[in-house]
């Protein structure tokens, strides 16, 4: 997500106080989201491969 601050001119103020108020434009960039999730999934799969080597089989038998 990209956030851009827009400073209004005096005549463009929408505040009930009459003071200028900044606007913030939020833009969702799908490519950045895709890259984030691809990197996150690749990192997760590498971690799973590493932890699988060290797994112990636990037997909780409460009979």
Using DSSP, state whether 24 is helix, strand or coil: strand
Q: What is the pLDDT of residues 10-62, one digit of tens each?
A: 666 677 777 778 889 998 888 888 888 888 887 666 655 555 555 555 555 65
What does pLDDT average to over the chain? 74
Given CA atoms 34, 40, 42, 48 in this order, what sign does their dihedral have? negative
Q: Residue 44 in contact with residue 59, Cβ under 8 Å? A: no
């Amino acid at each position: 997500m990209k956030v851009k601050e827009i400073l209004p001119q005096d005549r463009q103020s929408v505040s009930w106080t009459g003071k200028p108020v900044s606007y913030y434009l939020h833009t969702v960039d799908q490519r950045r989201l895709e890259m984030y999730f691809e990197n996150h999934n690749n990192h997760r799969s590498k971690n799973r491969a590493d932890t699988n080597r060290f797994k112990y089989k636990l037997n909780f038998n409460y009979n």
